[in-house]
């Protein structure tokens, strides 16, 4: 951080260069913001402490103010912290120290205070010169082993001292004691949790790293506040544990008691976390005086050392349950804790869920154990090195004594000990174990090092007794065993996890306490989804990334060839690029251009009118970033139907891939990698499928291919990060724009041809009968554009014809000029995957379209909607579109302007008639000014004209 806030050097020519005020403000404010975020406001996920708390604990340990020592003046500790580590004023340091000593603020106190440290009523603590403090026992689990190279140190603010970057915490303090802080542009608010539950969850995650959030929530059902209270429901807890954000509703613990013969009272024994008891009572009194709450005759505080007790005495005629409900509604007896689990992870702010925090702690603690083992190993090897010298000296004591006696001084004796080669038979295995690089070994002889020679010269004569010689050998054996144990810890992840488990169990025995906060399912834990009225919605997504849902019955059915209605109020050139209809309670998968998948319920999408803009997708999917949503997939409403289903992916470059739908059942809020895409490629569609069905791909240049889904043609991919296989070979400039899944029908080429002739003849006869019955209805009855004369014939029995008719699927193809036609799926032969495909439509007349917009299956009785690039939309019954040959160029479905093009086509599963307004067979055109107020009835209410028919 010092690099960001160094003052300019007037002698540096770079610092003398002029800069704009905007650049200077931007860089300076960024430096300030980063300093506040990293150095003051946010806790570290590893030890759960902000810098000021970490410095207080470390300074008190260095000064010897530990739990086994007498209390010392708080001013002494504050002075040490301010003078050495935290130059931000004594008041901020003392306030932080006081909070760590308050039992109603911390779930596990880290400071043991003596004196007036404030109260739950909001009373200020006594001045630091009057109070005394020392470290609490729990602090030892945060500070132990800090002098064994377990964490990194950094220089203090004036580089005269060093301070730890983080404490080697033995338990997840961030979850146990929570944190709150306001930085620049971000804030954190983490609730406290039960220490025993947090440690048990950590042990469970060590045992099973694949444990799910549901598994962890069986151990940690929710926050556990030091003031007790009742948490209402689990929905907010689930959201907070899953995403790091959520609102946890809390309620005071209150009971109704008979205090006298004819009087009752509401007794409050626990209040929500961070609620000021005195302010709460004042608020109740104000509401009683204002007569917003009636039935209260008196309120008094009977709290003492044994616990909290607020007595709200009621009038004789008051109903206690009614008064209590009013208190919950109007006072802080019921409030919410807004969880925002934002902490520093590897020096960067990150919002984390429950499992993320525990995983970060486990990774950190394993690193602490590894570093401690390496430190202890070096110490043990150093001690072993000296013991080797002592063992050699004891084994050769007569020669050693003779050498020392004949030496004129200590230096000569030391050099003599080092120069001579000693018998190393007894210590040879130990030399290899301790990796001793100082001793020079020659066969069975060894030369002593200077450190060993000094140790021999300093050896007391009493160490030469038989008992002392055994002690030296015994210590050497202990060092060898310790080295072996440390090497096992360093070399084995499993062993490090065992050490972590043992230390967590030890910490649990010291700091675990019973749960104080109750979690109630009966108090308002009602799912939002149960309040949503089921119904069909049309969901639209614009090119600029705005999404909305609109009730399906808002759109009225029109005949083909109509002018449509304005679909959305547009800003600039924004247009609708994707639409679909779904039930309010359905899950919807969103697939981004970057290949990621997101999941959301339809009812959670913003509801708006057809002319409204909607809401930006980045607000619903915060981790979407700059990617665009390129494919959406409503999932079956019944989740039991998900198991046998697969997903088939298609890209614009012609690639396809098949995965199990269950691979996308659990998707994090940040999304899930769905498909690996090459540069310039994008997802154009995703559909559900089953084994044996057919994949149908269509391109904008009117090519298509149909192949069956089998393990040989399109296997199930095990992973989600592959790019798939080739589905269709594209010509230059062409790209895939439609994907659908068709049912496979085993029929020969002759059977399909015979069926098409018979079916087309039947349709022409039915159309002719309809014309004769209603001669006023103008229809396009020109000959088929393909020029093919379809006559009934072929070897096809009546039973086989009826069977194929029941299995027939009809595909609708629409061009950018608003032309389209329906064709039988039998007209598309099944071929192998990866070929060039066949023609899908004849595009010889530019007025009928230059490109195919979409090809999709349709059912009689349903409608389709078409959207243009200027935002107009029309809903057309598919029954009004003729079934023609595959290569026919079609008829007019949507009358568009010269500079207008159809950009999106999607099916509507319900047909809504509007006969009373439109008249039988008529079309109502509605023109809406995009700049008009959507709430203005005149903007879109009056029909402009009536017309019918087709372009001919």
Per the CB < 8 A criterion, the answer to whether 697 and 739 are in contact is yes
Element (H, E) at 599: strand 596-601
Residues 6+ apart with CB under 8 A from 634: 580, 582, 583, 586, 587, 588, 589, 602
Distance of alpha carbon 55 from alpha carbon 76, whole angstroms:
14
Q: CA angle, corner 350, sides to 621 and 51, nearest 5?
A: 155
- Please give the DSSP secondary-structure letter assigned to residue 607: B
Dihedral sign (CA 11, 14, 17, 20):
negative
Per the CB < 8 A criterion, the answer to whether 731 and 738 are in contact is no
Distance of alpha carbon 657 from alpha carbon 715, whole angstroms:
8
Q: Which three-class secondary structure state does DSSP give residue 81?
A: helix
Distance of alpha carbon 832 from alpha carbon 295, whole angstroms:
81
Return the CA Rg of the chain. Answer: 40
Bridge partner list, 132: 73, 114
Q: CA angle, corner 130, sides to 127 and 133, nearest 5?
A: 100
Dihedral sign (CA 604, 607, 610, 615):
negative
Q: CA angle, corner 371, sides to 368 and 377, nearest 5?
A: 135
Distance of alpha carbon 493 from alpha carbon 790, whole angstroms:
75
Distance of alpha carbon 681 from alpha carbon 684, whole angstroms:
9
- For residue 444, count other CB atoms closer than 10 A to its CB: 11
Which residue is it, tokens 């159809």?
902
Distance of alpha carbon 914 from alpha carbon 861, whole angstroms:
15
- Please give the DSSP secondary-structure letter assigned to residue 304: B
Question: How far apart, in Å, are the Cα atoms of 572 and each of 46, 630, 812, 869, 871?
Answer: 48, 21, 31, 12, 11
Distance of alpha carbon 262 from alpha carbon 273, whole angstroms:
33
User: What phi and psi, each to the nearest 5 degrees, are found at residue 651?
Assistant: -115, 165
For the record, the structure tokens of 925 come out as 């055109």
Residues 6+ apart with CB under 8 A from 643: 661, 662
Closest CA to 815 of 780, 848, 858, 864: 848
- Please give the DSSP secondary-structure letter assigned to residue 476: H
Per the CB < 8 A criterion, the answer to whether 904 and 867 are in contact is yes
Per the annotation, the verdict on 130 as an active-site residue is yes
Which residue is it, tokens 């599963």?
909
Closest CA to 683 of 673, 693, 691: 673
Strand order in the sheet with 179-182: 179-182, 187-190, 334-340, 245-251, 230-232, 518-520
Give me the half-sphere count of Cα atoms (radius 13 Å) on the Cβ side of residue 688: 15
Closest CA to 685 of 725, 643, 657: 657
Distance of alpha carbon 394 from alpha carbon 466, whole angstroms:
10
Per the CB < 8 A criterion, the answer to whether 194 and 519 are in contact is no
For the record, the structure tokens of 762 come out as 């039947």
For the record, the structure tokens of 685 come out as 């569609």
In the set 32, 58, 85, 130, the catalytic residue is: 130
DSSP secondary structure of 176-213: HH-EEEE-SS-EEEE----HHHHHHHHHHHHH-TT--H
Residues forming the active site: 130
């Amino acid at each position: 951080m010092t690099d960001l806030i160094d003052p300019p050097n007037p002698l540096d020519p770079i610092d003398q260069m002029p800069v704009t005020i905007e650049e200077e403000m931007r860089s300076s404010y960024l430096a300030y913001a980063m300093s506040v975020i990293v150095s003051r406001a946010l806790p570290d996920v590893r030890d759960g402490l902000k810098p000021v708390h970490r410095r207080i604990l470390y300074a008190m340990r260095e000064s010897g103010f530990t739990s086994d020592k007498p209390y010392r003046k708080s001013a002494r500790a504050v002075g040490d912290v301010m003078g050495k580590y935290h130059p931000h004023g004594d008041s901020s340091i003392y306030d932080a120290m006081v909070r760590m000593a308050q039992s109603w603020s911390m779930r596990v106190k880290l400071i043991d205070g003596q004196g007036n440290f404030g109260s739950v009523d909001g009373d200020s603590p006594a001045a630091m010169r009057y109070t005394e403090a020392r470290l609490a026992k729990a602090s030892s689990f945060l500070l132990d082993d800090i002098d064994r190279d377990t964490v990194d140190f950094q220089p203090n603010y004036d580089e005269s001292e060093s301070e730890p970057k983080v404490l080697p915490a033995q338990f997840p303090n961030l979850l146990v004691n929570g944190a709150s802080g306001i930085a620049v542009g971000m804030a954190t608010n983490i609730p406290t949790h039960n220490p025993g539950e947090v440690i048990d969850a950590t042990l469970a995650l060590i045992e099973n790293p694949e444990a799910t959030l549901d598994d962890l929530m069986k151990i940690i059902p929710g926050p556990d506040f030091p003031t007790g209270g009742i948490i209402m429901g689990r929905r907010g807890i689930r959201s907070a544990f899953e995403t790091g954000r959520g609102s946890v509703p809390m309620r005071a613990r209150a009971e109704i008691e008979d205090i006298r013969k004819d009087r009752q009272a509401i007794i409050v024994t626990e209040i929500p976390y961070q609620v000021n008891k005195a302010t709460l009572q004042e608020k109740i009194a104000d509401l009683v005086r204002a007569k917003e709450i009636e039935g209260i005759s008196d309120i008094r505080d009977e709290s003492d050392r044994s616990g909290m007790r607020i007595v709200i005495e009621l009038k004789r005629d008051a109903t206690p349950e009614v008064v209590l409900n009013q208190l919950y509604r109007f006072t802080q007896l019921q409030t919410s804790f807004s969880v925002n689990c934002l902490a520093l992870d590897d020096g960067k702010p990150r919002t984390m869920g429950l499992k993320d925090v525990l995983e970060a702690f486990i990774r950190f603690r394993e690193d602490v154990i590894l570093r401690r083992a390496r430190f202890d190993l070096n110490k043990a090897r150093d001690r072993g090195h000296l013991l080797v010298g002592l063992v050699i000296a004891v084994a050769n004591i007569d020669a050693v004594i003779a050498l020392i006696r004949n030496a004129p001084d200590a230096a000569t004796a030391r050099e003599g000990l080092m120069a001579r080669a000693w018998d190393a038979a007894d210590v040879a295995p130990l030399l290899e174990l301790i990796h001793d690089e100082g001793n020079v070994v020659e066969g069975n002889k060894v030369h002593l090092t200077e450190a060993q020679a000094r140790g021999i010269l300093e050896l007391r004569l009493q160490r030469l007794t038989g008992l002392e010689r055994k002690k030296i050998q015994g210590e050497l054996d202990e060092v060898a065993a310790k080295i072996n144990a440390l090497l096992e810890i360093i070399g084995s992840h499993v062993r490090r996890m065992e050490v972590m488990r043992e230390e967590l169990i030890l910490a649990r025995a010291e700091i675990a306490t019973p749960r104080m906060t109750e979690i109630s399912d009966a108090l308002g834990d009602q799912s939002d989804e149960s309040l949503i009225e089921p119904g069909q919605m049309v969901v639209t997504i614009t090119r600029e990334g705005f999404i909305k849902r609109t009730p399906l019955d808002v759109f009225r059915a029109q005949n083909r060839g109509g002018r449509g209605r304005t679909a959305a109020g547009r800003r600039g050139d924004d247009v609708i690029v994707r639409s679909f209809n779904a039930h309010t309670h359905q899950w919807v998968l969103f697939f981004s251009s970057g290949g990621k998948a997101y999941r959301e319920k339809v009812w959670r999408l913003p509801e708006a009118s057809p002319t409204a803009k909607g809401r930006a997708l980045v607000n619903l999917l915060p981790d979407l970033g700059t990617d665009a949503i390129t494919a959406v997939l409503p999932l079956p409403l019944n989740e039991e139907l998900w198991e046998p289903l697969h997903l088939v992916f298609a890209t614009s470059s012609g690639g396809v891939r098949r995965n199990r739908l269950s691979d996308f059942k659990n998707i994090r809020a940040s999304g899930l990698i769905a498909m690996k895409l090459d540069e310039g490629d994008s997802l154009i569609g995703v559909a559900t499928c089953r084994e044996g069905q057919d994949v149908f791909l269509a391109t904008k240049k009117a090519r298509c291919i149909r192949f069956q889904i089998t393990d040989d043609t399109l296997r199930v991919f095990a992973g989600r990060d592959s790019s798939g296989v080739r589905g269709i070979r594209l010509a230059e400039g062409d790209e895939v724009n439609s994907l659908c899944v068709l049912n496979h029908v085993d029929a020969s080429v002759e059977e399909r041809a015979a069926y098409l002739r018979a079916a087309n003849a039947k349709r022409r006869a039915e159309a002719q009968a309809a014309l004769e019955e209603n001669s006023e209805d103008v229809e396009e009855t020109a000959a088929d554009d393909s020029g093919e004369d379809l006559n009934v014939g072929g070897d096809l029995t009546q039973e086989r014809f009826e069977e194929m008719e029941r299995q027939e699927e009809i595909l609708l193809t629409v061009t950018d000029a608003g032309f389209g036609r329906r064709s039988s799926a039998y007209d598309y032969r099944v071929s192998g995957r990866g070929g060039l495909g066949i023609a899908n439509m004849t595009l010889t007349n530019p007025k009928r379209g230059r490109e195919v917009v979409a090809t999709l299956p349709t059912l009689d009785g349903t409608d389709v909607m078409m959207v243009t690039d200027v935002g107009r939309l029309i809903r057309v019954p598919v029954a009004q579109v003729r079934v023609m040959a595959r290569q026919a160029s079609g008829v007019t479905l949507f009358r568009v302007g010269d500079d207008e093009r159809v950009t999106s086509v999607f099916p509507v599963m319900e047909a809504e008639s509007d006969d009373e307004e439109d008249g039988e067979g008529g079309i109502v055109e509605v023109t809406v000014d995009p700049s008009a107020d959507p709430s203005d009835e005149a903007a879109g209410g009056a029909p402009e004209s009536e017309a019918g028919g087709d372009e001919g």
